[in-house]
């Protein structure tokens, strides 16, 4: 963070109040009016807290008080250089032990004395800024025998004494009151608040893993009391004095360093960091002084703080009065009756009799048969705040167990509606219900053993206590009395899940519930257990976000951070929703497993009325806080009553028909048992059948002829299924079997190879459908299939050599491993046995394509497949290779965009960022869609070329059924995730079974008649070989003829374009703002750059001439209809455009000052030359004419980087670019500058590899990119530098450096960022776009650049196309938007300097994040993500900067 510097360059403010005079009253006080800055403070620590008495906030360095005073003084000195820095009184170092503490009043007296004695200040007339630091923790040491409220009030009085002293003794003072409770380590819980008879204070514990409810509410109440006191204007009776409560930072103990006994004092090496932390806190304090009361924010160390300036509208320090702040709650038009009304219910049931004899079966249990009631759970069942009065936040600590929805027994049903009171109408002798208030240990609690703050992991202990209470209660006969137990838990798990996703995972949540239910099942006979489904807790966010209530929002954020803090649609929020739904789903699966229905005297029934509950709303449609306790987190009695009614009704509704979306604000009428259905409903008396928990994924094969060939097959084209002796497979996680049988995300690193669609061999076809199991029906001796689980190196993997995370580049290595295994295994006769090898790859290539289009290009993909097939062709005899076509992954997006589907959408970026993230029509998806077809087309051309049909014992056949997959949909129209593993990306066993059937059928289908689509839900019957077609299908035995190559189109005569825009007239009058500039307003055009801008190679065979007239950005030869250039486009709007180049001579170059061979260091000179040319031109009005200048440079810098890394460093590249733009910014009026993003030069490697002539020429031109070996460290370094050129240049342009002038704009045009390599009809680089040197563009290539640049200029920042696919289309040019016909700038695109997001088209990692990450270090993820990512450990590690790697590059 460093030292705070002066703000002269940031804040523009008068030195004094209006007229140069000092402020006359404190509510008009400006920073420049302040003459003296000082502070006092006392942060006491409680005895026995386990913390040393040394000062936590100061050891060898400066104290918090000292740094605060210094920082505030430095900030104010920018407004008033003569401000005085008055050090805190001697001995006040911030935190001291009780015995050493300097009383705050003593400090106040001392500071007044020092100010009066200071010769440099006028005590009566100088304005003073005094900061008072205090801690709300002090009550912990002083309230052992007092009531809590008195405890807080006493502490409040002590601090009021200090402020009263200041108020009386100090004129002209602005007092900051800052609560730094968060720096202390003890809790605030002073006593058992529910048991006033216990005078013994609970031990004030040191920092634990989470704050208690008591701890948080006490702190909030203390701050709230201060807020109300100050807002009461106690200290605003004089015009020269005020006190303002300033929020502090939010996290607790961030400044404490772990060590011996829990904490250590700060060491010498930590002093600098600690002082930076203090400076951070002081800057946060300053910023809050700039914010109105009521809008001040807590700050934390996870956020970057920027120093705020006083605004022109509000240049003064904010007080309660000038903020127009009132702490009193707004009155509502609706009379507040939420806690005063009677919450009784009418029970309209006439038959309230028990069974004639005590039932022996839980399925014949009537309400009146229930003798004992009990409950387990958390504070919602304990009744925290249930009967608290509005605004009485402290009372939320009271546990009103007597009105608890599921077990409370206060009064009767006419006044208090609870489940117990409803049952008492059927059986007045009911026992176990709780009454009054108290903790779970009190006698009032009875069998309500819920514990505030408990999580699922704590429920087993609750069950143990409950069972003990039941057994020890003489009124209860454990063997004969029927018991009703309600369990509701999970809110606290979800509130903290983000802190430890594994601990609070759906799996652990369900496991802990299972332990608890297992104990009840084992220990408690004759029991009916209600397991209430956890509610969708995210709805709590609505109440927190609403502005129409007085909820203590900071408190709710603290109580439930993982729910409240995530931003909408963030991965963190998506993860919350996913966990919530999985809690619901897994508990349902646990109950429906039948685990608790093994005897007639016990059952567990899911009661789902809260499953889809929504936030209750007022008539105005706003969140209704009357349903909540004063903390806006717990239920009020109003909600408890409704929950009781809904639970009762759920108990009477049959399974399969239970209400699962009860709306709490609706009127709920109690249902009654009927004569036909008098029992509490269970699965048995509801005639409900639980779903089959162990589905059979076997298949039936009806083939009669399963015999092999009469004589051993000698040709692959006459191979019958029974002739196949060996099965094998290569591929990625799909073939490795990742997650096939997983039921949770933590198991996704398990490879279920025995269930893999193409090569698994677990069990038999009767219950496991895989391709080998089908083949075993023809030949039981077949070998090679995998079984069980494990990696490709395990013996049971056998010939399944697929590797999770594998890409096409890894396939050759898999082929070599497979070859080695087949040659060395004694079960295989390598020369004689026929082999079926299934190959499927490409998913991971597509998932990463947008991150590195060059590496994952179609050319590279096909080359790697070819290398693999060549290995098999050359070295494996008697083999049919079944090459399953690359799967189109885009349909999988449905699983991640449908909000009703229980998929881990937060993992989309980790699973497949280029496909599963981003908007539907984003450039990334367009790129993936196009390259998918290129992969498929390229592979088809490779195989159909006949390359692998050179002898009779080998062939390759494409199986195209995954070309067009169809996502399965359930009856509700939403995706059916039963076909997928828990990550919703890999198929489950159900999905693998369908894939295996489709693959088998494809193997038999003749080429040309094969299915090219796959429906997960289709009823796929296994085909059989026929008498006419008994063989596995090949190209030859299918009599397939490859379709002829499409005839070449007639040669295109020119590279012009068509443009027909309706509005082509200039603005009237001429705009004065660059943000309102239309194309027709451009009068002058210029350009800087290198040989790309001089248009070397535009006439392909001539490399010696600069064809400036054909230059993409400034050439003006011909017309738009014959040659597309930026000037030719602009001439359609303004025929009088001036400055463009024509021909090839220097005399007709116009304002094209580019030079071949130029580097970034030459740009400043070119800029000066251009300015002088324009200034001296008689054909333009230098001051009035609007100018457009295009800059593209950097290729030569990159090509020579390895020769001189210092000269061509990223830092110098950006510095040269900045110097160039600075010249324009300083010298040129009315100018729009296009900076074209440097392309990625590594694409040259593919072009150079396309022909020997290209390779020879290009290597001499760009050695740093073309000479390094593939995957070498040198190549990786130059690629990284290339990306850094892009990122740092973008950072410069979007920094705001060039945004102060209204008539100047610089815009990055990113069309080259992801340029797709142009391919010809054979899948090879199309050299018609390039000059003879395979390095510069031809006229065709330059035309594509001009079109892309023009379109970029019209596209808003953040929505610009970041790629160019080099496809000729005369109609590609866009027209200005009639509603917004301007050239796009940052401002008119809706961006401001403070909220730039750079490029919205980057779905994964925006450039700013790359730069920040380089400085910040390691990004730490959760264990869950680590486990998922672990599956990809063998994938090559590469940069994840999205969208920075471009296929096509030239200079």
Catalytic residues: 379, 493, 634
What are 726's strand-pairing partners? 783, 835
- With b for 16 or more beta-carbon neighbours within 10 A and e for fewer, the 238-259 pattern comes to eebbbbbbbbbbbebeebbeee
HEC letters along 1031-1051:
CCCCCCCCCCCCCCCCCCCCC
Residue showing tokens 């004129």: 171
In angstroms, the CA 1205 to CA 1278 distance is 10
Phi, psi of 474 (to 5 degrees): -70, -15
Tell me which residue has tokens 């006949």.
946
Contact predicate 69/131, CB 8 Å: yes
Rg (CA), the chain: 38
- How many residues in the chain? 1451
Q: Find the DSSP H helices in 777-919.
A: 811-824, 843-848, 858-875, 893-897, 908-916
> 928, 849 in Cβ contact below 8 A?
yes
**Residue 541 · residue 560 · CB < 8 Å:** no
Handedness of CA 15, 17, 18, 24 (dihedral sign): negative
* Cα(992)–Cα(802) distance, integer angstroms: 15
The alpha carbon of 260 is separated from its chain's Cα centroid by a whole number of angstroms, namely 37
* H or E element, residue 1088: strand 1082-1089
Would you say 155 and 142 are in contact if contact means Cβ atoms under 8 Å apart?
Answer: yes
Using alpha carbons only, give the angle 667, 672, 675 rounded to the nearest 5 degrees: 155
Q: Distance between CA 1156 and CA 1088 in Å, rounded?
A: 11
Q: Distance of CA 508 to CAs 503, 739, 745, 1063, 1103, Å?
A: 6, 18, 12, 64, 69
1184's tokens: 């009035």
Give the largest CA-CA distance in the chain: 117
C-beta of residue 850 within 8 angstroms of C-beta of residue 912: no
Distance CA 717, CA 570 (A): 54
CA dist 608 and 658 (Å) reads 7
Distance CA 1038, CA 944 (A): 13
Q: Residue 1039: left (phi > 0), alpha (psi -120 to 50), or beta?
A: left
For residues 1065 and 1078, give the distance between their C-alpha atoms in angstroms, rounded to a whole number: 9
For helices 148-169 and 213-231, the axis angle rounded to 10 degrees is 30
Cα distance between residue 1398 and residue 1396, in whole Å = 5
Cis omega (within 30 of 0) for bond into 1069:
yes
Q: 3-class DSSP state for residue 933? A: helix
Query: Cα–Cα distance between 1346 and 896 in angstroms, integer?
Result: 38
Nearest to 1357 by CA among 1064, 1075, 1067: 1075
Nearest alpha carbon to residue 763 among 668, 814, 697, 692: 697
CA 611, CA 902: separation in Å to the nearest integer? 14
3-class state of residue 633 by DSSP: coil
Is the distance from CB of 26 to CB of 242 less than 8 angstroms? yes
Whole-angstrom distance, CA of residue 597 vs CA of residue 150: 54
CB 786 within 8 A of CB 696: no
């Amino acid at each position: 963070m460093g030292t705070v510097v002066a703000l002269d360059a940031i804040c523009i403010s008068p030195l004094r109040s209006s007229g140069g005079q000092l402020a006359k009253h404190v509510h008009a006080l400006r920073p420049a009016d302040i003459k003296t800055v000082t502070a006092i403070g006392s942060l006491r620590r409680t005895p026995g807290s386990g913390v040393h008495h040394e000062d936590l906030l100061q050891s060898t360095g400066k104290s918090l008080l000292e740094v605060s005073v210094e920082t505030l003084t430095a900030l104010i000195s920018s407004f008033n250089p003569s401000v005085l820095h008055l050090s805190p009184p001697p001995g006040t170092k911030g935190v001291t032990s009780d015995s050493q503490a300097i009383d705050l009043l003593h400090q106040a007296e001392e500071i007044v004395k020092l100010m009066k004695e200071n010769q440099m200040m006028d005590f009566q007339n100088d304005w003073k800024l005094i900061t008072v630091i205090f801690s709300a923790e002090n009550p912990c040491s002083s309230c052992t025998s007092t009531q809590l409220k008195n405890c807080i009030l006493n502490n409040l009085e002590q601090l009021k004494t200090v402020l009263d002293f200041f108020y009386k003794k100090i004129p002209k003072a602005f007092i900051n009151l800052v609560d730094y409770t968060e720096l202390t380590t003890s809790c605030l819980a002073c006593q058992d608040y529910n048991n006033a008879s216990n005078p013994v204070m609970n031990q004030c514990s040191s920092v634990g893993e989470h704050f208690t409810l008591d701890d948080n509410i006490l702190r909030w109440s203390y701050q709230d009391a201060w807020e109300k006191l100050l807002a009461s204007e106690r200290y605003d009776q004089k015009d020269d004095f005020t006190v303002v409560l300033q929020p502090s930072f939010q996290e607790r103990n961030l400044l404490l360093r772990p060590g011996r006994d829990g904490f250590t004092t700060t060491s010498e090496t930590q002093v600098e960091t600690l002082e930076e932390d203090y400076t951070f806190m002081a800057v946060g304090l300053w910023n809050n002084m700039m914010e109105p009361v009521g809008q001040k924010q807590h700050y934390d160390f996870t956020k970057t703080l920027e120093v705020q300036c006083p605004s022109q509208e509000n240049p003064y320090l904010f007080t309660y009065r000038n903020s127009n702040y009132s702490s009193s709650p707004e009155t509502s038009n609706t009379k507040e009756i939420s806690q005063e009304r009677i919450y009784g219910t009418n029970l309209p049931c006439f038959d309230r009799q028990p069974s004639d004899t005590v039932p022996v079966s839980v399925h014949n249990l009537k309400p009146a048969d229930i003798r004992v009631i009990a409950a387990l759970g958390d504070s919602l069942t304990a009744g925290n705040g249930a009967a608290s009065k509005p605004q009485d936040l402290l009372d939320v600590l009271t546990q009103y167990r007597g009105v608890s929805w599921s077990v409370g027994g206060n009064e009767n049903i006419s006044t208090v509606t609870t489940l117990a009171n409803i049952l008492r109408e059927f059986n007045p002798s009911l026992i176990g219900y709780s009454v009054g208030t108290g903790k779970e240990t009190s006698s009032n609690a009875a069998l309500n053993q819920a514990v505030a703050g408990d999580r699922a992991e704590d429920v087993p202990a609750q069950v143990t206590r409950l069972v003990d209470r039941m057994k020890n209660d003489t009124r209860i006969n454990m063997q004969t009395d029927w018991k009703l137990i309600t369990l509701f838990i999970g809110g606290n798990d979800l509130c903290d899940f983000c802190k430890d996703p594994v601990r609070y995972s759906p799996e652990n949540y369900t496991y802990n519930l299972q332990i608890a239910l297992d104990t009840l099942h084992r220990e408690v006979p004759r029991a009916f257990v209600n397991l209430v489904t956890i509610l969708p807790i995210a709805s709590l966010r609505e109440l927190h976000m609403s502005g129409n209530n007085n909820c203590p929002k900071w408190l709710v954020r603290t109580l439930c951070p993982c729910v409240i803090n995530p931003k909408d649609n963030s991965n963190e929020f998506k993860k919350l929703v996913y966990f919530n739904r999985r809690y619901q789903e897994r508990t349902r699966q646990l109950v429906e497993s039948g685990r608790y229905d093994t005897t007639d005297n016990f059952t567990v029934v899911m009661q789902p009325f809260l499953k889809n509950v929504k936030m209750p709303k007022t008539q105005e449609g706003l969140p209704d806080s009357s349903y909540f306790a004063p903390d806006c987190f717990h239920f009020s009695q109003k909600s408890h009553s409704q929950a009781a009614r809904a639970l009762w009704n759920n108990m009477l509704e049959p399974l399969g028909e239970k209400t699962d979306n009860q709306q709490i604000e609706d009127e709920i009428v109690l249902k009654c048992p009927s004569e036909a259905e008098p029992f509490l409903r269970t699965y048995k008396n509801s005639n409900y059948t639980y779903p089959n928990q162990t589905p059979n994924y076997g298949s039936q094969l009806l083939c009669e002829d399963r015999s092999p060939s009469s004589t051993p097959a000698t040709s692959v084209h006459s191979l019958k299924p029974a002739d196949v002796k060996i099965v094998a497979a290569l591929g990625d996680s799909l073939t490795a079997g990742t997650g096939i049988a997983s039921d949770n995300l933590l198991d996704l690193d398990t490879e279920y190879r025995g269930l893999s669609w193409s090569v698994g061999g677990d069990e038999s076809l009767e219950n496991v459908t895989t391709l080998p199991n089908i083949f075993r029906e023809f030949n039981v001796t077949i070998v090679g299939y995998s079984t069980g689980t494990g990696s490709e190196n395990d013996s049971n993997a056998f010939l399944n050599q697929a590797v999770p995370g594998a890409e096409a580049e890894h396939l050759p290595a898999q082929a070599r491993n497979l070859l080695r295994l087949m040659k060395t295994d004694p079960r295989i006769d390598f020369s004689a046995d026929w082999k079926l090898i299934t190959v499927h790859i490409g998913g991971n290539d597509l998932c990463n394509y947008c991150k590195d289009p060059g590496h994952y290009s179609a050319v590279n993909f096909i080359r790697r497949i070819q290398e693999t097939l060549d290995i098999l062709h050359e070295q494996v005899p008697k083999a049919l290779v079944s090459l399953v076509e690359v799967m189109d992954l885009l349909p999988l997006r449905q699983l991640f965009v449908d909000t009703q589907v229980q998929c881990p959408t937060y993992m989309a970026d980790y699973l497949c960022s280029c496909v599963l993230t981003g908007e539907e029509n984003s450039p990334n998806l367009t790129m993936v869609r196009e390259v998918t077809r290129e992969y498929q087309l390229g592979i088809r051309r490779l195989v159909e070329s006949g390359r692998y049909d050179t002898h009779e014992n080998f062939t390759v056949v494409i199986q195209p059924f995954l070309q067009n997959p169809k996502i399965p949909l359930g009856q509700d129209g939403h995706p059916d995730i039963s076909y997928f593993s828990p990550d919703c990306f890999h198929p489950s066993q159900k999905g693998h079974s369908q894939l295996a059937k489709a693959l088998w059928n494809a193997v038999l289908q003749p080429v040309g008649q094969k299915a090219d689509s796959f429906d997960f839900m289709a009823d796929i019957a296994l085909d059989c070989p026929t008498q006419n077609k008994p063989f596995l299908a090949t190209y030859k035995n299918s009599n397939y003829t490859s379709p002829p190559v499409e005839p070449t189109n007639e040669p295109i005569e020119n590279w012009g374009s068509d443009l027909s825009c309706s509005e082509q007239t200039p603005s009237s009058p001429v705009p004065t703002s660059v943000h309102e500039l239309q194309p027709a307003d451009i009068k002058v055009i210029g350009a800087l750059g290198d040989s790309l801008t001089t248009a070397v190679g535009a006439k392909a065979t001539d490399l010696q001439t600069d064809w400036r007239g054909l230059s993409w950005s400034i050439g003006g030869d011909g017309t738009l209809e014959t040659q597309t250039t930026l000037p030719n486009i602009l001439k359609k709007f303004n025929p009088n455009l001036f400055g463009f180049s024509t021909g090839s001579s220097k005399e007709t170059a116009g304002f094209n000052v580019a030079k071949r061979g130029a580097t970034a260091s030459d740009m400043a000179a070119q800029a000066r030359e251009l300015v002088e040319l324009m200034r001296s031109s008689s054909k333009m009005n230098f001051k009035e004419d609007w100018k457009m200048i295009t800059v593209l440079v950097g290729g030569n810098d990159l090509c020579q980087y390895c020769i001189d890394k210092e000269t061509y460093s990223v830092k110098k590249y950006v510095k040269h670019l900045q110097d160039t733009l600075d010249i324009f910014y300083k010298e040129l009026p009315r100018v729009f500058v296009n900076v074209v993003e440097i392309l990625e030069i590594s694409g040259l490697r593919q072009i150079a590899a396309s022909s020997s002539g290209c390779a020879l020429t290009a290597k001499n031109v760009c050695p740093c990119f073309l000479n390094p070996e593939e995957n070498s460290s040198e190549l990786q370094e130059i690629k990284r530098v290339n990306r850094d050129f892009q990122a740092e240049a973008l950072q410069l342009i979007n920094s705001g450096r060039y945004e102060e002038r209204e008539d100047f704009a610089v815009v990055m045009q990113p069309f080259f960022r992801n340029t797709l390599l142009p391919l010809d009809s054979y899948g090879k680089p199309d050299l018609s776009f390039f000059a003879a040197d395979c390095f510069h563009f031809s006229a065709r290539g330059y035309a594509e650049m001009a079109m892309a640049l023009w379109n970029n200029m019209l596209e808003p920042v953040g929505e610009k196309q970041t790629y160019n696919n080099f496809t000729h289309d005369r109609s590609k040019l866009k027209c200005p938007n009639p509603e917004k016909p301007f050239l796009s700038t940052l401002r008119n695109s809706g961006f401001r300097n403070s909220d730039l997001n750079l490029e919205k088209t980057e779905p994964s990692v925006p450039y700013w994040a790359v730069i920040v990450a380089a400085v910040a270090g390691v990004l730490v993820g959760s264990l869950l993500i680590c486990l998922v990512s672990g599956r990809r450990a063998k994938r090559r590690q590469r940069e994840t900067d999205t969208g920075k790697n471009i296929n096509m590059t030239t200079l």
